[in-house]
């Protein structure tokens, strides 16, 4: 199998905005463009929270009481359903599969706060990924504090999470935001398994994904920012994902 590197490189280089990308084929990097460029992470920072939780050896069956004051807007369902209590594993699954902002904040507080996540990142060798604010903290944003990552580190965090367990894998495979890298083919019944995690914000769109077909595995992180036309940005993700899917199917 040969991934159409030149075609993908052309798409990325012609993108009217900033873009960084890294692609690996069966564990070997085959394309990297600005993979170490630091960018606002949006919801990709949730990968750091997930890995921190797992390495804290938390009992995933622990019940956490949900205070209404912990609920925030944005993506997710907890702020709508307003449950009184939830298991840690349920909060984790919501943080990934529906990118629930309230679940993320509850879990950050549960493990000891922002500093604990950053301490884990440092100890695990992630030098560019930082959690500097809670989800939907507009005051922090106005004060200039945001969360950051890179293509290479977000992909490493993603792959580390996937390697944890089949249960965690299922959260990414059943991810609800599928309109970026797998967007062109996700509902066509193709026998490609795609696990992914997206992120989006003001002039910000990311997707980190793993494509599996038979014995072939393609991992990719595509991070974009500073674009004027979001439709063109989503088209970039769709085209790159389609090129990878077509290559896998026609190997």
Backbone angles phi, psi at 210, to 5 degrees: -125, 125
pLDDT at 1: 64
**35-65 pLDDT, tens digit each:** 999 999 999 999 999 999 999 999 999 999 9
The CA dihedral of 145, 151, 156, 159, to the nearest 10 degrees, is: 110
C-alpha 30/C-alpha 93 separation (Å) is 31
Exposed, middle or buried: residue 196 (CB in 10 Å: 0-12, 13-18, 19+)? Answer: buried
Residue 68 DSSP one-character state: G
pLDDT at 221: 99
**Residue labelled with tokens 């500073």:** 226
| Radius of gyration over every alpha carbon of the chain, rounded to an integer in angstroms | 18
The total number of structural domains that make up the chain: 1
C-alpha 240/C-alpha 222 separation (Å) is 9
The CATH number of residue 18's host domain is 3.40.710.10
* Of the candidates 235, 250, 194, the residue with the CA atom closest to the CA atom of residue 19: 235
Q: What share of the chain is helix, strand, coil (3-state, %, to 5)?
A: 40, 20, 35
C-alpha 134/C-alpha 114 separation (Å) is 8
Domain with 191, as residue range(s), is 5-250
C-alpha 71/C-alpha 83 separation (Å) is 10
Please say whether the beta carbons of 21 and 33 come within 8 A.
yes
pLDDT at 83: 85
User: Within the chain, which residues score under 50 in pLDDT?
Assistant: none
């Amino acid at each position: 199998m040969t991934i159409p590197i030149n075609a993908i490189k052309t798409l990325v280089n012609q993108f009217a905005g900033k873009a960084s990308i890294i692609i690996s084929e069966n564990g070997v990097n085959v394309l990297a463009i600005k993979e170490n460029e630091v960018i606002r992470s949006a919801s990709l920072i949730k990968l750091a929270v997930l890995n921190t939780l797992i390495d804290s050896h938390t009992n995933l069956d622990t019940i956490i009481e949900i205070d209404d004051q912990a609920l925030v807007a944005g993506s997710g369902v907890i702020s709508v359903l307003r449950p009184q209590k939830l298991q840690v594993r349920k909060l984790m699954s919501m943080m990934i599969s529906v990118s629930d902002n309230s679940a993320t904040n509850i879990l950050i507080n549960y493990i000891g706060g922002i500093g604990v996540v950053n301490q884990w990142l440092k100890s695990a060798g992630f030098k560019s990924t930082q959690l500097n604010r809670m989800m939907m903290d507009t005051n922090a944003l106005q004060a200039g504090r945001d969360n950051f990552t890179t293509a290479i580190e977000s992909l490493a965090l993603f792959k580390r999470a996937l390697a944890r367990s089949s249960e965690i894998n299922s959260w990414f495979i059943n991810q609800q935001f599928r309109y970026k890298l797998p967007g062109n083919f996700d509902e066509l019944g193709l026998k490609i398994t795609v696990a992914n995690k997206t992120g989006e914000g003001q002039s910000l769109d990311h997707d980190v994904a793993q494509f599996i077909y038979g014995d072939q595995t393609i991992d990719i992180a595509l991070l974009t920012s500073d674009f004027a036309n979001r439709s063109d940005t989503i088209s970039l993700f769709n085209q790159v994902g389609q090129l990878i899917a077509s290559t896998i199917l026609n190997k």
